[in-house]
Amino acid sequence: MGLQLAERPVEKTRRLRRLALTALPLTAVLVLSGCSEEGKRFAMPEPVTEEGTHILSLWQGAWIAALVVGVFVWGLIFYAVVRFRRRSDDEIPVQTRYNLPLEIFYTIFPIIMVVVFFSHTVRVQNIVLDDSPPDNVVYVVGQQWSWTFNYPESVDGQNVYTAGTGNIIPTLYLPVGQTTRFELRTPDVIHDFGVPGFLMKMDVMPGQKNHFQVTPTTEGTYAGKCYELCGIYHSRMLFNVEVVSEAEYQLRLDEMAERGDISDEPLLGPDLVCTQVGLPEEASQEFIEECR
């Protein structure tokens, strides 16, 4: 006596399928309509540089592609769960050994996705790491536990600078609409120079001359910090960035020169490492002399 298969409730299956197909677009509409500006950027900060817009586009494209693939896979999973669920203890499902077209699809399609992601990543990387001649150069020095910003040949052919300590947060000035290259240096340990609004950061490594450049598009004040755990006072390695007009930029450089923050060459260390966090000014000067 053969095993009798239970009849499938076709009408009920169709109702479930229609319900799923109706619920999915409605859910998508609700989610998209409730998105904030930050949500549309997938939690990325608003870019304030030309390079940042390219990075944001790559980030958004990657997330959209991942969500499309995810929804497709989730849809197949839920469809299989509902469509081929067990309806009777006596039911035996159809045994499919292989499906050649499907196997070719899920082998070739991921390879195509990787190739597309790779090509877009290389394109954006070439844009943000462009080495064309910049309008300005700033030597950024990360030292325990602060930053020094050098502007070489900016005032009467000399270098002006601003230096911070663990107690003083330095400010980096950038002219809006001009390309500035950051030459990254450090005399001690690995740091990481980054500003959230730039959507880019880079390691500052002893003995390695890293650099990248940005073109600010929006005036304003932005916060930056070290993104690499560099020691006990890593949390104090903060700095501010002020994107200003070209006239105000030159005015700020002149003010540094008037204060006496001027040198023939950029200050790259190691003298600036000789600072002790928390010491009074007089004691700090004594410590610097002993360190030298």
Q: Going from the N-terminus, what domains does the chain have, and what CATH number goes with each?
A: 10-128 (no CATH), 136-291 (2.60.40.420)
Greatest alpha-carbon pair distance for the chain in Å reads: 104
State residue 291's pLDDT score. Answer: 47
pLDDT average, residue stretch 238-253 = 94
* pLDDT of res. 288: 54
User: How high is the pLDDT of residue 174?
Assistant: 95
pLDDT score for 33 = 45
* pTM to 2 decimal places: 0.73
pLDDT reading at 270 higher than 90: no
Confidence bin at 292 (pLDDT 50/70/90) = very low
187 closest CA partner among 230, 153, 239: 230
The pair of three-digit structure tokens given for residue 290, joined into one six-digit string: 């002993």
Query: Average pLDDT in the 88-116 region?
Result: 84
230 vs 254: CA distance, rounded Å? 33
Q: pLDDT band at 89, cuts 50/70/90?
A: confident
- Local confidence band at 171 (pLDDT 50, 70, 90 cut-offs): very high
